[in-house]
Structure 1
């Protein structure tokens, strides 16, 4: 290899490296609830703090249908810091796997104060339900991030629990209730807002949400070891429905003052499909912390798999129960 060839090769490598550096979004640090939080410089949150005009969204994402959001009104709220409710998620995808789990273990993981109001749904003797959901928020008021939700399916506060009949009623009405056990995210902004503002069990870790022609592959890393902890691989279902479906997901938890609160998100599902085939979901667990936690739940039969590649959502600030 002559000098000219070497120089050209080095130049190409440096050019690629410079391109990779410039491809990374620049960040700036802002204050959220008294904590320094890095955010995308010039991003939606940096500019508008959860209250961007829909005209801005229309200009930056002309492919997004904003008709539903035009019907919703934001209100200024104090949730440990000044924000606006609801928080808008304009372009989002998710996959959800619902498994049976050990009922006694689920009850043991819920605070006594919460258990006074809600209980895990018993689908048959000794078995409750766990929902494992992987979200990728591609464009939202908080810029973009990935999130993993691990929740116990419960009855509505103050209502009786009739096990599978309650589950059927929630399904028919599109009105689901749960208690959130784990909620890792991959941005510090999502973590701080979730912990302080919504009383949710969030922590920061790497989460890769990847798609192939036939599958969605989500890798959740252990925050301490930096190794892959949990892998969820799900099949992209072919029989997608484009019928718009509205779904409400509510949660009950305890705030930082020890008081019961409840919050909810309303989702507008634009493309979606579901199945009950165990072949559509592959859950791989390791010796990591989240894997160990999930193993202790003694997961059983896959009850339902939901593939929702296109939906929008509005997350409302929690209120006292």
Structure 2
């Protein structure tokens, strides 16, 4: 099966300097015993994941906060004191779901996780991975960009592993996965994700930009500062104006090796999807993340999602 119409490996990767705020605009806080830089006077510096909605409205009067008024927060210990859920008030994303080598996906998942969930099998020897580029423009822990690479799995306790299990999750808008890679572009997001959510976050430069026809996420290699992966998705027309709630859950291990699960509920505004191969272009280089993706042996594009506006509530993990 040829996939070169969507995934290319001959992309020139120019070096681009990191985009960072000057030291005068940063403050240092203590989080989980670590010195973490944050935006001075930003939401996290002032409110530590629990800003009043009036503060959000003052920063961006155009944000619809009605959904968040229905959700209560509680103080939790996540390896540091925080509040759950974490709110994402204005966000964007593009997601591409590809077939991938099933055995490779199983090999990348810890045996203890495989006791609870399994990669969904779309057909013999082929599983599914989701590549998502997020731009969190306004959230409790300031703005940041993130790239998620996840195995689509069964629900815990479910025996279904085939296409019907995927259909069931899609119809119920209750999707499960195991996160393989989760680079972010701020140290605050990295520390909170690793310590608080048991997620494989690492820090590198990530740029999220838009043209007239597409959304482009550029992930840079943290060692060379050259573009590692470029993920481009079309801006689809005929956006659905009907709001929808989607739950994304993940299973992983905590720092004591015990099974945990976490989830986020997202409120999607305008959104659209496609299964056409030309909806997505992925350019791979010789960088570390590119090598990781190449080893998955990606195949056919199963689904592409364009979500130019969504909100989310991310809940603290709990034992499975």
Give the TM-score category using the shorter length: over 0.9
Tell me if the contact between 1:25 and 1:40 (Cα under 8 Å) persists in the aligned partners: no
Moved more, 54-63 or 112-121: 54-63
Other structure's SS at 1:184 match: strand
Deviations 1:91-150 (A, max 9, x none): 000000000000000000000000000000001000000000000000000110000000
After superposition, the CA RMSD in angstroms is: 1.4
Deviations 1:255-278 (A, max 9, x none): 111110000000000110000011
Aligned partner of 1:110 in structure 2 is 109
Other structure's SS at 2:183 match: coil
Shift of 1:24: 8.8
Other structure's SS at 1:80 match: coil
TM-score, normalization by structure 2: 0.93
Aligned partner of 2:202 in structure 1 is 203
**Cα distance change of structure 1 residues 299 and 48 upon mapping to structure 2, 3 Å threshold:** same
Q: Computing the radius of gyration over CA atoms, which structure comes out larger, 1 or 2?
A: 1
* Structure showing the higher helix proportion among its residues: 1
Shift of 1:180: 0.1
Shift of 1:162: 3.7
Structure 2 CA distance, aligned partners of 1:60 and 1:136?
A: 18
Shift of 1:25: 7.4
Structure 1 CA distance, aligned partners of 2:313 and 2:264?
A: 5
Other structure's SS at 1:183 match: strand
Aligned partner of 2:222 in structure 1 is 223
> Which blocks of at least 5 consecutive residues in structure 1 are unaligned?
1-19
Structure 2 CA distance, aligned partners of 1:162 and 1:82?
A: 37
Aligned partner of 1:62 in structure 2 is 61
Aligned partner of 1:152 in structure 2 is 151
**Cα distance change of structure 1 residues 21 and 269 upon mapping to structure 2, 3 Å threshold:** closer
**1:73 equivalent in alignment to 2:69:** no
Structure 2 CA distance, aligned partners of 1:203 and 1:25?
A: 24
Shift of 1:55: 1.2
Report how many aligned residue pairs link the two structures. 302
Structure 2 CA distance, aligned partners of 1:242 and 1:205?
A: 34
Moved more, 284-293 or 157-166: 157-166
> Which blocks of at least 5 consecutive residues in structure 2 are unaligned?
1-18
Aligned partner of 2:98 in structure 1 is 99
**Cα distance change of structure 1 residues 233 and 255 upon mapping to structure 2, 3 Å threshold:** same
Other structure's SS at 1:143 match: coil
Shift of 1:173: 0.4
**Cα distance change of structure 1 residues 154 and 21 upon mapping to structure 2, 3 Å threshold:** closer
**Cα distance change of structure 1 residues 97 and 28 upon mapping to structure 2, 3 Å threshold:** same
Shift of 1:21: 11
Tell me if the contact between 1:119 and 1:161 (Cα under 8 Å) persists in the aligned partners: no
Aligned partner of 1:3 in structure 2 is none
